[in-house]
Amino acid sequence: MSENLLTELAGAVLTDGLTFANNAVASTAGAGLAAVLKAVMTRREKVARETLLAELANTGRLPVDAEIDDCVAILYRYARAAQEGTARLNLRLLAAVFAGQVREREIVADDFLHYADMLASLRRRDVVVLGTLLRITENAGDERLENAQKIHIAAIGELVPSVFDTAADYNATAAALQRTGLVVGVAMGGGFGPGGAAILYRPTALLFELHRLVDIEGVTARDAAGTTPKETSGHDRENGVSNAEQS
């Protein structure tokens, strides 16, 4: 939906509604709402543009002619997310995915659209869980099933109570993330879950593929600090997760 159409619809609805109620200020109120909506859309566009350029700043190259068609589809989806009021962190994630595609010379609209549908609606704590699981799993040295319990315990130890009040809250968020295909639950025998099996959560191959394009914890830190990719250090990333959750 274009900015003009949105403001016209909103102004017309309010104006017609007030007119129907015989309110003498109908036209003034309608015009005022239209002006407010226009200002909101202008602000969203500015944030989207600045965020995208910041993430693209250190890709080291520009798209070539053969990639333009895919770029147009990607930028259209990104602009739609901005117009719809997608949260700033989520918008930065989408921009970082595109930047990763540019950097890796893998600009494919279908892939971007697939990731965009996963990422645009995530809550901040969802993003924190994804980044934390990735880092802990990589630090574990391998991805064998017997490490699932260590990964799970380490994630809970790090995120409870700094992000989640209880382990049950963490488990609920991790379980919900399975809808994205980025996290999978693994049943471990002898636990406390249904049928004596504990459900432990770990990254999927799809999340590792996304991670090849995007440093999720780096994006979270940059969003909290308002920095560009080049300005974010490893120490900043560690601090950025907790700071982002508090913002």
For position 176, what pLDDT does the model report?
A: 97
Query: Tokens in use for 164?
Result: 């989640």
Show me where the domains of the chain are located: 3-119, 124-214
The chain-wide mean pLDDT, for the chain, equals: 82
For position 58, what pLDDT does the model report?
A: 87
User: What is d(CA 131, CA 134) in angstroms, rounded to the nearest whole number?
Assistant: 5
Query: ∠148-221-115 over CA atoms, to 5°?
Result: 65
Q: Is the pLDDT of residue 170 over 60?
A: yes
For position 15, what pLDDT does the model report?
A: 56
Residues in the chain: 247
What's the CATH fold of domain 124-214?
Answer: Arc Repressor Mutant, subunit A (1.10.10)
Q: Is the pLDDT of residue 246 over 50?
A: no
Q: What is the rounded (10 degree) CA torsion for 62, 67, 70, 71?
A: 20
Q: Is the pLDDT of residue 184 over 50?
A: yes
Which pLDDT tens digit goes with each residue over 72-130? 999 999 999 999 999 999 999 999 999 999 999 999 999 999 999 999 999 999 999 99
Q: Is the pLDDT of residue 154 over 70?
A: yes
Q: Is the pLDDT of residue 51 over 70?
A: yes
CB-count exposure of residue 121 (10 Å: 0-12, 13-18, 19+) = middle
Which pLDDT tens digit goes with each residue over 187-218? 876 554 444 458 999 999 999 999 999 999 99
Select from 113, 88, 100 the least CA-distant residue to 56.
100
Band of residue 69 on the pLDDT scale cut at 50, 70, 90: very high
Band of residue 219 on the pLDDT scale cut at 50, 70, 90: very high
Encode the chain in three state secondary structure.
Answer: CCHHHHHHHHHHHHHHHHHHCCCCCHHHHHHHHHHHHHHHHHHHHHHHHHHHHHHHCCCCCCCCHHHHHHHHHHHHHHHHHHHCCCCHHHHHHHHHHHHHHHHHCCCCHHHHHHHHHHHCCCCHHHHHHHHHHHHHHHHHCCCCHHHHHHHHHHHHHHHCCCCCCCHHHHHHHHHHHHHHCCEEEEEEECCCCHHHEEEEEEECHHHHHHHHHCCHHHHHHHHHHCCCHHHCCHHHHHHHHHHHHHC
Range name among 157-161, 210-214, 224-228 with the lowest pLDDT average = 224-228
Beta bridge partners of 184: 202
